[in-house]
Chains A and B, each alone.
Chain A
Amino acid sequence: MSILEAILLTIVTASTPLLIAALGELITERSGVLNLGVEGMMAMGAACSFAAAVSFDSTILGVLAGMLAGALMAALFALVVLGFAANQVGSGLALTIFGLGLSGLIGAPFVGARRDPIPHVDVPVLSDIPFIGRLFFEQDLFVYASFSLTILIAIYLMRTRSGLTLRSIGENHTSANALGLPVLRTRLLAILFGGACAGLAGAYLALVYTRFWSPGMTNGRGWIALALVVFAAWRPGWLLVGAYIFGAATVLQLHAQAAQFGVPSQVLSAVPYLATIIALLLLSIRHGRAIGAPGSLGAPFVPDR
């Protein structure tokens, strides 16, 4: 395996959690809810999945625990923003603070433990394609899952009845309510889905990417996932592109640090964050206002009874 190939493989590994978390947030935001708690849900997913995987020595249970943890965090968020119509920005932020703290508590006994790498699954025939085959078709199941999820979500949004309902509710919740569409129920499900995805992304970080737990290991990835949704103009296809650009930026700066170009490592570490700002800036310069944003995004919904 050449160095280039190795780098490209790690790019896939670095991009996958971003893509999964961002897909979940995309669904949440398309329903009109802004959940800034991705970072916290991801951290909880990572801590709980790692704790479960080590305790039961089972990757599958770990993954399930991670998704469950993310969904439970999301349920708490849903209670506050849907049940009490609390401010979504503040509540999401609170969820992140809470999740980072609680994940530290849960993960503390497991600091120092390690997990073995999970097996890669080769896709027959496709994996024989030179270069591309190795890169994309000899991967772990999560990678395949992230691609499938992207396609499924794209189909769901544009081709299904439920997807149309979800978009309508995100676009204008007053109209949707007047038509009798189930605004709160749809949003609840969308928030839970977003939480489960963030949890899954966290599980991937802990069980595949690093294979250990350390406090604060999400390191802003949840926030980058949030930025990706804006960057992708709320479209799944662009999310895939964005996640891989950012995955590449993360991996390349790590390699650059290792290569010791004489640039301080901190400058390179700042690259993903600066890249996020620049990406948001370029997007705004090109399109003016945030294009494609759901009309009701972030506004609390109180039905007129």
Chain B
Amino acid sequence: MRFELTPRTSVSPVARALAPVVAFITAFLIAGFVIWLMGRSPIAAFEVYVLHPLSDPWSLQELLVKATPLALIAIGLSYCFRASLWNIGAEGQYVMGAIFGSWLALKTHGTDAGFWVLPLMMILGIIGGALYGLIPAFLKTRFGVNEILTSLMLVYVAQLTLDYLARGPWRDPKGFNFPQSVTFDPSATLPSIMESGRVHYGFVFALIAIAITAVILGRTLFGYRLKLTGDAPRAARFAGFSSKATVMAVFAISGGLAGLAGITEVSGQIGQIQPSISPGYGFTAITVAFLGRLNPIGILVAALVVALTFIGGESAQIMLKLPLDLTQAFQGILLLCVLSADAMVSYRVRLVTRGGAK
């Protein structure tokens, strides 16, 4: 028994659009099966994971809050992935952005610094993430070091740096020895969009990033250059696009957006520096980017869908005593399903038993 792949001669746009949906449903069925294996009711889990958050206004807001960093990071990653560059260190760039931006928040803490603090924090966040993203890009272009492993290793380094700051120099001396900083001043806190809501301006940044990206990828030479670099690298060189410049540019963009996600999360959501500021947004965003087919609008939808699993995971932990790890396992399976569905859009897969087709 074996699989036989034949390239499809034509791919209908419907199949292309449906692929992620099918992948998502498959992943759900697999997750349901796992829950059933654990001796729980998959139906109850579905209610808690999906229906409950969607029917509760508080959870709906929470959905946008969680989707914000996912969308920002995934939009950045889509630049890399389109050019077939594997930045898997967005988690580290996110942390580094948070560290850069928070530095200013803590520096100005207790002073009557003005309106300029917040925008400057955001810019510092972008710079921090971009610089951190440029490390693997520089090592790749200058020395030919594989970007996958370096960008991933830098995640651990960034997390340890944050851990050090939160427990060491940035710890609140009046904080009963808790490993966390002082709470940011209002001038360093990203405000909510609505008076009493929890959705902060990070969500607006995400929407702006999506809109700009849609224009860049669809209409500009730079967008075409990424596509060409990813689809046919030799043709990109033939067209005169420097691959080194492309690598540096996309890592800077994706790092910068991850950094922006980091500082908006700290400034708009957490409100202080802690040893851990992310439930793995940087890795989950990889799933989001592929689930959204690297398309800006697709990524927005995918971010909302995946954010749902985070919220569902939290309520399932409280209501069903299902561990949070289930969410991570689900996100892994989801990515596997999405990539398989992507491949199946390009190839017809047949299961052939020996002697059957021969």
Contact = CB atoms under 8 A, between A and B. Distances in A.
Interface string A265-305: 01101100110110011001100111000000000101101
B243 to A, nearest CB: 14
A226 B149 contact: yes
B148 A89 contact: yes
Nearest to A289: B144
A102 B327 CA distance: 9
A237 interface: no
B328 interface: yes
Most chain-A CB neighbours within 10 Å: which of B3, B283, B328?
B328
Most chain-B CB neighbours within 10 Å: which of A89, A93, A95, A290?
A93
Interface in A66-86: 76, 80, 82-86
Contacts of A277: 139, 145, 149-150, 153-154
B148 A98 contact: no
A99 B286 contact: no
A101 B149 contact: no
Nearest to B330: A101
B336 A95 contact: yes
B145 A264 contact: no
Contacts of B161: 266, 270
B163 A266 contact: yes
B46 interface: no
Contact of B146 (A80, A102, A264, A290): A290
B143 A223 contact: no
B186 interface: no
Given A84-B340, A273-B156, A230 B146 contact: yes
B170 to A, nearest CB: 13
Nearest to A105: B325
A151 B319 CA distance: 53
B335 A223 contact: no
A94 B329 CA distance: 9
A65 B161 CA distance: 37
Nearest to B38: A105
A101 B342 contact: no
Contact of A87 (B139, B157, B342): B342
B336 A82 contact: no
Nearest to A301: B5
B336 A98 contact: yes
Interface stretch (B93-101, B111-119, B215-223, B343-351): B343-351
B50 to A, nearest CB: 18
B205 interface: no
Looking at chain B's contact residues, the main secondary structure is helix
A84 B287 contact: no
A85 B341 CA distance: 10
Contact of B5 (A101, A105, A281, A302): A302
A163 interface: no
B295 interface: no
A14 B84 CA distance: 35
Contacts of A273: 153-154, 156-157
B302 to A, nearest CB: 14
A223 B153 contact: yes
B329 A98 contact: yes
B331 interface: yes
A85 B347 contact: yes
Interface string B290-327: 10000000000000000000000000000000011111
Given A86-B342, A97-B331, A284-B143, A303 B5 contact: yes
B2 interface: yes
Most chain-A CB neighbours within 10 Å: which of B6, B152, B327?
B152
Interface string B124-154: 0000000000000001000111101110111
Given A104-B325, A305-B4, A85 B343 contact: yes
Contacts of B329: 97-98, 101-102, 104-105
Contact of A83 (B3, B154, B324, B342): B3
Contacts of B327: 101
B323 A280 contact: no
Contacts of B143: 281, 284-285
B156 A284 contact: no
Nearest to A280: B145
Contacts of B4: 305
A84 B347 contact: yes
Given A84-B344, A101-B328, A270 B157 contact: yes
13 contacts: A80-B339, A85-B5, A86-B340, A90-B290, A98-B336, A99-B332, A101-B328, A102-B332, A105-B329, A108-B323, A230-B149, A302-B5, A305-B4
Interface of B: 2-7, 34, 38, 86, 88, 139, 143-146, 148-150, 152-154, 156-157, 160-161, 163-164, 168, 283-284, 286-287, 290, 323-336, 339-340, 342-344, 347, 349
Given A184-B2, A223-B153, A302-B7, 9 more contacts: A85-B347, A89-B86, A93-B88, A93-B283, A94-B287, A97-B329, A97-B335, A98-B329, A101-B325
